[in-house]
């Protein structure tokens, strides 16, 4: 007989400087939000409006501490790509949120990674199919602890980098986003009613590429620290 869990546990993120946890609801991601990355993916950043996709909340892999944590290389891919991103966490929801008010909805920020089965994504693009299998592998959304905005403010500039072992592979600046975080929130709220606990992965700079088993990724954002993952 099927057993039912009446109140399944929610995924929650640690908060820097607090014993409280931040419960997660949905995970939204904006695509190609840095001009150089858009160009390396063969797109024109001056013509393309922003677009969004989603990851299941249980793809989050919460990473804390200075030591590297094990990150599983997923099946059905031979081209597993890293994409370092700043993540915005919402504590206030709403529909049709004005851009001028959008930052009042943000609780804080974290370092994140949008890991992607690139070969699966390329095939999906070729066949005009959804990206779900490419973007939603188990543990494909590593994320560090949340830094509350009332302590650090709302970052609009600062280095965002990713290194594999000792080699830097991605480097950009938060100021290079095509669509700002207020613009992302305002637009996303015209498609969905946003809620407390929603996360937005805000895009990646250029330099995305493959990572292999046995390699260690270090994703860092100025003011938000770093997370480290050892691919196994």
User: What is the DSSP code (8-state) at residue 79?
Assistant: -
Neighbours of 10 (CB within 10 A): 11
pLDDT surpasses 70 at 194: yes
Architecture of domain 20-231: Alpha-Beta Complex (3.90)
Cα separation of the two ends of the chain: 36
Contact in structure between 17 and 148 (CB atoms under 8 Å): yes
Domain ranges of the chain: 20-231
Rounded distance between C-alpha atoms, residue 172 and residue 184, angstroms: 19
Rounded distance between C-alpha atoms, residue 203 and residue 91, angstroms: 20
Which pLDDT score is estimated for 221? Answer: 98
pLDDT surpasses 80 at 81: yes
Contact in structure between 197 and 37 (CB atoms under 8 Å): no
Neighbours of 20 (CB within 10 A): 11
pLDDT surpasses 70 at 179: yes
Which pLDDT score is estimated for 42? Answer: 62
Q: Is 92 helix (H, G, I), strand (E, B) or coil?
A: coil
Rounded distance between C-alpha atoms, residue 97 and residue 185, angstroms: 7
Alpha-carbon 148 to chain mean position: 17
Which pLDDT score is estimated for 65? Answer: 95
């Amino acid at each position: 007989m099927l057993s039912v869990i009446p109140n399944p546990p929610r995924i929650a993120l640690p908060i820097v400087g607090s014993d409280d946890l931040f419960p997660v609801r949905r995970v939204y991601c904006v695509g190609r939000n840095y001009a150089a990355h858009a160009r390396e993916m063969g797109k024109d950043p001056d013509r393309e409006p922003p677009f969004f996709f989603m990851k299941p909340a249980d793809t989050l892999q919460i990473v804390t501490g200075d030591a590297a944590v094990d990150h599983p290389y997923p099946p059905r891919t031979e081209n597993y790509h890293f994409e370092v991103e700043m993540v915005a966490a919402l504590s206030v929801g709403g529909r049709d949120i004005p851009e001028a008010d959008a930052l009042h909805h943000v609780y804080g920020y974290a370092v994140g990674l949008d890991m992607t089965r690139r070969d699966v994504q390329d095939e999906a693009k070729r066949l005009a199919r959804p990206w779900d299998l490419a973007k939603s592998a188990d543990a494909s959304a590593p994320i560090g602890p949340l830094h509350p905005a009332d302590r650090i403010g709302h970052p609009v500039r600062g280095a965002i980098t990713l290194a594999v072992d000792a080699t830097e592979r991605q480097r950009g600046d938060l100021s290079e986003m095509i669509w700002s975080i207020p613009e992302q929130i305002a637009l996303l709220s015209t498609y969905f009613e946003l809620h407390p606990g929603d996360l937005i992965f805000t895009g990646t700079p250029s330099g995305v590429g493959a990572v292999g088993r046995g390699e260690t990724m270090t994703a860092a954002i100025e003011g938000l620290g770093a997370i480290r993952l050892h691919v196994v």
